[in-house]
Amino acid sequence: MYETRYMSIFAAVMTGKGTGAISTIQIFGDSAGAVIKKVFKPAGTKPLKFEAGEILLGTIYDGAEVIDQVTIGCEGTDTFAINCHGNPLIVEMIMQLLRRHGAALLSAEQMLKKLLMAQKSAGSIAVEAKLTQAKAKTLQGTKIIAKQNDAGLTKKARGWLERIDEISLDTIKAEAIEILQKSRIANLIIYGCTAVLTGPPNSGKSTLLNCMAGRQKAIVTDIKGTTRDWVEATCRIDPLSLTLIDTAGLDEESARPESTVENAAQKKTAEILEQADIVLLVLDASRPIEELDDQITNRL
């Protein structure tokens, strides 16, 4: 096998994992054009030229072997987007071909960061905002991120610098603390949050999860302790994207030395509760609240 080394070239799959109609592979670097010329043959008889905005139709070859028919978008003299068929095997073959021609393989996030940093006008906050925007789980989250560059943290930081001689450190500290407090809420809107359903056995946790998810994700029976492994489902309650987790019922009586499975379920429930953003305590309305085990409430 051949292997060529260039000074600087990177490749990344920019579309999601799995089978799809089309996958996009981004190539970036001062030698990107040279590599494209080695692996790509355009359709027709026109000579291969790279002009910004041009879309090229042709075939990717590995030597004499045809890999796939593709289109290549020329985003600049050093930036190209290969649009190939979405079969993961084809995508992997193209990526390995580019690697053998000297490309360093990156994740989509790493590639996006390199592309943004290459823009001289992009500040660190703008770069971080663009990277975060790709991960936002809600429309409201993308709007929050979009504001950061022009009217959010960037604007606030510029204001501090412009008034550095007349503003006190206490004022800056107070404003920074306020931003941090708001950012905790913003993070939940942007990235989504985890809501754990917990409570005594047979209190209706699985029924509530199925209702909120809009479909049956958890098995529901009248038998105590039906749920032992945790069950996840996703739902949207504006402005949040919630990951709901149905856990084994908190039951001190089940945590007996001889009950290995129950002990493991109780331990896992405790671990999930520690990591939750929101804990929803589900109780049976037919049972007086006074009868709720103090040991259960103390664990929440």
pLDDT digits 0-9 by tens, 80-103 = 999 999 999 999 999 999 999 999
How confident is the model over 106-116, as pLDDT tens digits? 998 888 888 87
Counted residue by residue, the chain has a size of: 300
Q: What order of strands is seen across the sheet that includes strand 65-76? A: 40-42, 55-62, 65-76, 79-86, 20-28, 10-13, 104-106
> Average of pLDDT values for 207-222?
67
**What span, in angstroms and rounded, lies between the C-alpha atoms of 194 and 170?**
35
- The answer to whether the CB of 205 falls within 8 A of the CB of 265 is no
Task: Centre a 10 Å sphere on the Cβ of residue 150 and count the other Cβ atoms it contains.
Answer: 10
> Average of pLDDT values for 248-274?
63
pLDDT above 70 as % of the chain = 75
How confident is the model over 161-177, as pLDDT tens digits? 888 888 888 888 888 88
* The pair of three-digit structure tokens given for residue 56, joined into one six-digit string: 């090229």
State the pLDDT at residue 17: 77
Q: What is the pTM of this model?
A: 0.55
CATH 3.30.1360.120 fits 10-117, yes or no: yes
**What span, in angstroms and rounded, lies between the C-alpha atoms of 95 and 105?**
8
Where helices occur in the chain by DSSP H, the ranges are 32-39, 88-100, 108-117, 124-133, 139-150, 153-162, 169-191, 205-213, 260-275, 294-298
Architecture of domain 193-298: 3-Layer(aba) Sandwich (3.40)
- 147-156: Cβ within 8 A, 24+ apart: 149/123, 149/125, 153/125, 153/179, 154/123, 154/125, 154/126
How confident is the model over 113-159, as pLDDT tens digits? 888 777 655 556 666 666 676 677 777 887 777 776 565 667 778 88
- Residue ranges of domains in the chain: 10-117, 124-191, 193-298
How confident is the model over 40-94, as pLDDT tens digits? 999 987 778 888 888 999 999 999 999 999 999 998 888 999 999 999 999 999 9
